[in-house]
Amino acid sequence: MSVVLSALALAGVALSLLYQVRQARTSNEQAIRDSHLQLATLALSDPNLLQAWSPPVAPVTLKRHQQHLITSLALGELLQRFRIGHLSVEKLAVKLDGHFRGEIAREQWEREGPGWRRTMEAGDRRDCVFVRLVDESYRAAVAAGPASALLEFQDRPDRS
């Protein structure tokens, strides 16, 4: 009986250690993500810093470059949630379908997709799955037809 109890206790300790390792990894990834977000916020606040931190891969207006950066950050957030298991493959596919309805997201992936692919394919299995799903969603969105038109967000007389 004591052998069984000892084995159960040992299994409990092992499970607890595995859980702690996962929590530590999640905390580290979140700290890295927070640092990245602080850098992006700083870059978005000053065009000179934006050019230094994240130069565009091809000529583009400042406004569009800022929009591409935001779109890239949105993809990074989805990647983070996917890595830590908060998004299943199915939920990620739904999020990506919505992401690529817009013209800015499509344009950003067209321009920066090759860099994302190189980076993710050098990563682990989940990174490879992520970039494959992004590519599939992008191609499906393009095949489905034109992107949703941008809305003009400005005060108009018909809005109160």
**pLDDT for 83-121, tens place per residue?**
888 999 999 999 999 999 999 999 999 999 999 999 999
Number of structural domains found in the chain = 1
Average confidence (pLDDT) over 2-16: 90
> How does residue 140 score in pLDDT terms, banded at 50, 70 and 90?
very high
Asked whether residue 132 is domain-assigned, the answer is yes
Q: Is residue 127 part of a domain?
A: yes
Residue 127 lies in domain? 56-144
Per-residue pLDDT of 44-72, as tens digits, reads 888 888 888 777 778 889 899 999 999 99
pTM, 2 dp: 0.74
Q: What is the pLDDT of residues 23-32, one digit of tens each?
A: 888 888 888 8
| pLDDT range class, residue 150, cuts 50, 70, 90 | low
Residue 78 within any structural domain of the chain: yes
Q: Tell me whether residue 77 is in a domain.
A: yes
Residue at 152 is within a domain: no
Q: Is the pLDDT of residue 79 over 50?
A: yes
Q: Report yes or no on 16 lying in a domain.
A: no
Asked whether residue 109 is assigned to any structural domain, the reply reads yes
* 160/84: higher pLDDT: 84
> Residue 160: what pLDDT?
47
What is the band of 133 on the pLDDT scale with cuts at 50, 70, 90? very high
Q: Distance (Å, rounded) from C-alpha 47 to C-alpha 62?
A: 7
> Does residue 63 fall inside a structural domain?
yes
